[in-house]
């Protein structure tokens, strides 16, 4: 379903939807909870409110909008969002590491071994930092 065929009728209560940004693609997955304002405002499970066609956030009142949009959820969206979240969690974990970390060197080595195994299984290049 391309951007031009998405209308207010594309979304029903209980449907899984994806919030997309033009720059990063799928950002999050939500469910259509209900409609307000004579079915002109779609309320999602994350609490956000959107125009019924998903093209603008409900509170936006300007004439030019370049923000996120809501689209029907497709399987590739779920994979993209899960991968984004996992990468973010790994970065946050790595950023907090220091020599004062409560993790032992053996535990850190096991983490590195899992990363190396998964990288090899995916057919990616061996990470130069893992040694």
91 shares a domain with 31? no
Co-location of 63 and 98 in the same domain: no
Structural domain including 52 reads 3-73
0.85 exceeded by the pTM? Answer: no
Q: Give the model confidence (pLDDT) of 107-122 as tens digits.
A: 999 999 998 998 888 8
Can you say whether residue 98 is alpha, beta or left, with left for phi > 0 and alpha for psi between -120 and 50 degrees?
beta
b/e for 32-70, b at 16 or more Cβ within 10 A?
A: beebeeeeeebbbeeebebbbbbbbbbeeeeeeeeebbb
- One domain for residues 69 and 99: no
pLDDT digits (tens, 9 = 90+) for 26-74: 999 999 999 999 999 999 999 999 999 988 888 887 778 888 999 999 9
In a domain, 94, yes or no: yes
- Predicted pLDDT of residue 60: 81
């Amino acid at each position: 379903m391309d951007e031009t065929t998405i209308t207010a009728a594309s979304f029903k209560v209980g449907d899984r939807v994806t919030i997309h940004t033009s720059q990063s693609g799928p950002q999050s997955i939500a469910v259509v909870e209900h409609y307000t304002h004579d079915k002109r405002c779609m309320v999602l499970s994350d609490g956000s409110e959107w125009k019924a066609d998903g093209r603008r956030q409900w509170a936006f009142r300007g004439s030019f909008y370049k923000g996120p949009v809501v689209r029907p959820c497709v399987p590739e969206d779920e994979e993209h969002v899960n991968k984004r979240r996992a990468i973010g969690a790994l970065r946050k974990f790595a950023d907090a590491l220091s020599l004062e970390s409560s993790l032992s060197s053996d535990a850190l080595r096991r983490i590195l071994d899992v990363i190396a195994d998964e990288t090899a299984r995916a057919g990616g290049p061996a990470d130069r930092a893992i040694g």
